[in-house]
């Protein structure tokens, strides 16, 4: 899913152009603004007048150049959304056996997979971080809160979209089932924020290659959606046995600090809490952040800890004196707020958020209708394979408000379904595969995407692209390459260039030694099956997580709300980061 923000905004015209026109516009604006205060209807007159002026002065401009949020009267406009045609989502009786097959497959995908662990059990396992003894060390000996308790203290409510919880769960890092850092999106003082929180129960919160990837993905989401970022730092820096895979390359650890500077220059605020022992890379994150809080006794920051100082200089020094809360808040100035407890630190963060000068709209409760058909039935519609795909409108009718869909080019290129709908009150453009992508379907898709872009409407892609047997599909069909704001998989999803059932037809699948060898082909097929599973993809962060079909509507609507927030950020003209001296 991605959001095409229109480039046609009034305020992106060059300043010299605007200054010559602004004198013409200002009296007109003031006159109509006064009227507007008396009668909100006048805003439409204002819009039309402004358009007329601009049309005369610059022939290339059109009315569409005005940001829609500026001129619309949402409440009045929104009442018409109930007029979109209703989809017939009833499952034809001839398709019932396909529905049943899909249902069995979905349940099997959720109940068990390669490691014989159930989806819910895996969620529970990854949420326990480094295991019982590490949790005891963290809470009893080190007197720290667990990462999820920290988030609970910070967040407004339970609403939290955890990103890629399965990242790294099957990677060969010994008995560690999680990436050692939790990322997600939740609200502080009404503001959606991205959280990057180290889990020190997993090898002291040190960074594995997958943890770095997870942090970078969280930052990318923050950048794309202009979300305030909160770092809860409790990390021993790099996981040293894997150091060569961690720091030297472009998308390795250093990129996290680079991104912090870039984000600051983009006016994306970043706040850090030092809530544990932070060494080397673990110390850079809070030092580069715009504003930092440290917790007394449990927070410390240094390039190298006391044992290394002793080895290098022979000096005996305590962690507190080397880089504790008092030292950094009173002497080095590396942190900005001293908190005597974790609770106080998170209260301080909430207060910092109140200084960010966000102008959020009044809490609006969007009115919407539920779909007419049960979301539970999506389990029977999530296709088991390409021969088990039912019409995509059956899925749509279980996702969108009132099952109402304003279809675009319904009769043309029918293997791609395009159109507009609402998702918990949010207008969204939908591009959904309904068979093999044909030439006509592609033309229709590109036309529709441009419409959405022109109208600043986010797009929801429902992707189900069949491999073109017997040739491998093109790499360009993979989702991540297109930088969607969010990308989720259903448990039944398979991500691969080829369908394992066609493997025997590929000459390139056989090397010289195994030509004609069935066991080699069997092995290749098994490997392909395993590597194309949704869980394999999610463990490697090729997506933002696996969601259950029946929860999709909620997750999509949440993403749409999150993406909308950037509309309310106060713009500033300066383009340099906050530099801590």
The beta-strand segments (E) located in 38-190 are 160-163, 181-188
For the chain, give the number of residues: 581
Query: The tokens of 370 are what?
Result: 């539920």
Rounded least distance, CB 285 to ligand COA, Å: 13
Residue 385 and residue 372 in contact, taking contact as beta carbons nearer than 8 Å:
no
Rounded least distance, CB 203 to ligand COA, Å: 4
Q: How far apart are CA 227 and CA 193, in angstroms?
A: 5
- Nearer to ligand COA (CB atom), residue 233 or residue 289: 233
Rounded least distance, CB 65 to ligand COA, Å: 51
Rounded least distance, CB 576 to ligand COA, Å: 29
Rounded least distance, CB 152 to ligand COA, Å: 22
Rounded least distance, CB 319 to ligand COA, Å: 8
Interacting residues of 327 by C-beta distance below 8 A, sequence separation 6+: 320, 321
- Nearer to ligand COA (CB atom), residue 164 or residue 206: 206
- Taking CB atoms, the residue at the shortest distance from ligand COA is 236
- Nearer to ligand COA (CB atom), residue 160 or residue 257: 257
Query: The tokens of 80 are what?
Result: 């018409």
- Nearer to ligand COA (CB atom), residue 201 or residue 492: 201
Q: How far apart are CA 426 and CA 417, in angstroms?
A: 19
* H-type alpha helices, 290-399: 306-313, 319-323, 325-326, 342-354, 378-381, 392-396
- Nearer to ligand COA (CB atom), residue 279 or residue 456: 279
Pairing of strands 228-233, 277-279: unpaired
Task: Say which DSSP state 332 is in.
Answer: I
Q: Name the residues that contact ligand COA, by CB under 6 A.
A: 134, 137, 142, 203-204, 206, 236-241, 277, 279-280, 304-305
Please name the helix (run of DSSP H) or strand (run of DSSP E) that holds residue 431, with its range, or none: strand 426-433
Rounded least distance, CB 219 to ligand COA, Å: 20
- Nearer to ligand COA (CB atom), residue 301 or residue 416: 301
Rounded least distance, CB 238 to ligand COA, Å: 4
- 3-state secondary structure at position 154: helix
Pairing of strands 228-233, 270-274: parallel
Q: Using alpha carbons only, what angle is made at residue 358 by residues 35 and 63, rounded to the nearest 5 degrees? A: 45
According to DSSP, the residues that pair with 494 across neighbouring strands are: 533
Interacting residues of 555 by C-beta distance below 8 A, sequence separation 6+: 161, 488, 547
- Nearer to ligand COA (CB atom), residue 137 or residue 468: 137
- Nearer to ligand COA (CB atom), residue 74 or residue 143: 143
């Amino acid at each position: 899913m991605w959001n095409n923000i229109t480039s046609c905004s009034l305020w992106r015209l060059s300043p010299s152009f605007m200054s010559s026109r602004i004198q013409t516009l200002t009296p007109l604006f003031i006159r109509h603004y006064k009227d507007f205060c008396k009668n909100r209807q006048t805003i439409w007159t204002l819009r039309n007048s402004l358009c007329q002026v601009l049309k005369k002065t610059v022939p290339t401009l059109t009315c569409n150049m005005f940001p829609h949020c500026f001129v619309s009267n949402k409440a009045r406009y929104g009442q018409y959304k109930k007029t979109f045609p209703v989809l017939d989502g009833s499952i034809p009786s001839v398709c019932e056996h396909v529905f049943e097959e899909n249902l069995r497959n979905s349940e099997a995908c959720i109940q068990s997979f390669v490691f014989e662990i159930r989806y819910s059990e895996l969620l529970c396992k990854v949420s326990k971080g480094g295991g019982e003894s590490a949790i005891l060390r963290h809470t009893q000996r080190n007197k720290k809160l667990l990462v999820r308790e920290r988030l609970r203290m910070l967040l407004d409510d339970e609403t939290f979209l955890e990103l890629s919880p399965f990242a790294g769960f099957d990677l060969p890092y010994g008995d560690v089932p999680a990436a050692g850092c939790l990322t997600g999106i939740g609200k502080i003082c009404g503001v959606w924020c991205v959280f990057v929180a180290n889990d020190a129960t997993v090898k002291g919160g040190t960074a594995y290659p997958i943890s770095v990837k997870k942090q970078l993905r969280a930052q990318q989401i923050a950048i794309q959606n202009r979300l305030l970022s909160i770092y809860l730092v409790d990390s021993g820096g790099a996981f040293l046995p894997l150091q060569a895979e961690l720091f030297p390359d472009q998308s390795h650890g250093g990129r996290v600090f680079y991104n912090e500077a870039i984000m600051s220059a983009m006016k994306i605020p970043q706040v850090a809490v030092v809530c544990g022992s932070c060494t080397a890379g673990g110390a850079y994150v809070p030092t580069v952040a715009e504003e930092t809080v440290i917790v007394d006794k449990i927070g410390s920051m240094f390039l190298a800890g006391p044992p290394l100082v002793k080895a290098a200089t022979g000096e005996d020094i305590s962690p507190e004196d080397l880089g504790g809360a008092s030292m950094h808040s009173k002497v080095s100035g590396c942190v900005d707020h001293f908190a005597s407890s974790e609770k106080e630190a998170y209260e301080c963060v909430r207060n910092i958020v109140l200084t960010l000068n966000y102008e959020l709209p009044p809490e609006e409760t969007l009115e919407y209708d539920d779909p007419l058909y049960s979301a539970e039935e999506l389990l029977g519609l999530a296709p088991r394979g390409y021969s088990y795909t039912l019409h995509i409108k059956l899925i749509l009718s279980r996702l969108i408000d009132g099952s109402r869909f304003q279809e675009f080019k319904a009769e043309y290129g029918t293997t791609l379904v395009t159109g507009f709908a609402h998702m918990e009150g949010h207008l969204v453009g939908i591009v959904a595969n309904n068979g093999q992508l044909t030439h006509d379907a592609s033309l229709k898709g590109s036309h529709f995407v441009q419409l959405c872009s022109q109208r600043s409407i986010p797009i929801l892609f429902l992707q189900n692209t069949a491999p073109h047997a017997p040739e491998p599909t093109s790499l360009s069909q993979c989702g991540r390459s297109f930088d969607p704001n969010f990308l989720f998989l259903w448990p039944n999803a398979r991500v691969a260039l080829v369908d394992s059932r066609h493997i025997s037809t590929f000459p390139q699948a056989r090397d010289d030694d195994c030509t004609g060898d069935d066991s080699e082909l069997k092995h290749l097929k098994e490997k392909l099956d395993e590597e194309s599973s949704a869980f394999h993809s999610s463990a490697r962060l090729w997506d933002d997580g696996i969601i259950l079909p029946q929860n999709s509507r909620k997750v999509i609507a949440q993403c749409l709300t999150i993406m909308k927030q950037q509309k309310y950020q106060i713009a500033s003209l300066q383009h340099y980061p906050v530099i801590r001296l």
